[in-house]
Structures are given as C-alpha cells and as structure tokens.
Amino acid sequence: MSQESSPLWEVFVRARRGLAHSHVGSLHAPDAEVALRNARDVYTRRQEGVSIWVVPAGAITASSPDEKDAFFDPAADKVYRHPTFYEVPEGAAHL
C-alpha cells in the first residue's frame, strides 16, 4: 500500500474525563474510520486514553515559524495580562 493512498492524520487523545484532548502524534490511514482504529492501536494500547480525535493533517492551519516574532513576541512585555495581581483566597484549589 503506497503512502499516496494513505493520507496523514493528527491524533488527539483525552487521557481521562475532565481533561482536554491533547495532541499525541500522527499516523497514516486511508480514511477516518481506519485512522481512528489505528490511533487506538498506536496511541492508547497502554491505557493512555478514554477518547480519541483524528483530524486530517491537511485540515489544520498552523502558524508559521517565520511569523513567530510577530505572533508571540508582543505578549512578552505585557505582564499586566497575567492574573498575578490578585490575592488568591484561602482554599481555592482550582483557580
């Protein structure tokens, strides 16, 4: 089977209820159903997850490394955007 007939898929796994799906890697599969099953075999065989998403790699629009400065540097000197100027109330474990 050639790689031409098997496009690339990005795999996202949710480790347990309440957590978000996280990107764990990618794989090749001819269609979404096979991609989902391949992801189950490749990425959750050691009980890593309770839910899987697969997304065609081509469907993801990613920021370009060339744009890194314009995208991310302006946030570096804006310390007031961090919620560090508040007192955390006693006993607030999940803030």
Partner 1 sequence: MSGPFAFTLALGDDALIAAQRLAEWTTRAPEMEEDIALANIALDQLGSARLLLTYAGELEGAGRDEDALAFLRDDREFRNCLLVELPNGDFAVTMAKLLALSAYQLPLYTALAGCADERLAAIGGKARKESAYHLDHAALWVKRLGDGTEESHRRMQAGIDQVWPYVHELFAAQPEAPVDPATLRGEFDATVAAVLAEATLAAPQSGWTPAGGRDGVHTEHLSYLLAEMQVLHRAHPGARW
Helix (H) or strand (E) holding 9: strand 8-14
Q: What 3-state class would DSSP assign to 36?
A: helix
In the complex, the smallest distance separating the C-beta of residue 3 from partner 1, rounded to whole angstroms, is 9
**Residue closer to partner 1 (CB basis): 19 or 32:** 32
Q: Of 11, 14, 2, 4, which Cα lies nearest the Cα of 56?
A: 11
In the complex, the smallest distance separating the C-beta of residue 57 from partner 1, rounded to whole angstroms, is 14
Interface residues toward partner 1, by CB under 8 A: 1, 6, 27-31, 33-34, 37-38, 41-42, 45
**Residue closer to partner 1 (CB basis): 42 or 70:** 42
How many H-runs (helices) and E-runs (strands) does the chain carry? Answer: 2, 3
Q: Which tokens go with 86?
A: 């508040």
In the complex, the smallest distance separating the C-beta of residue 13 from partner 1, rounded to whole angstroms, is 15
**Residue closer to partner 1 (CB basis): 25 or 58:** 25
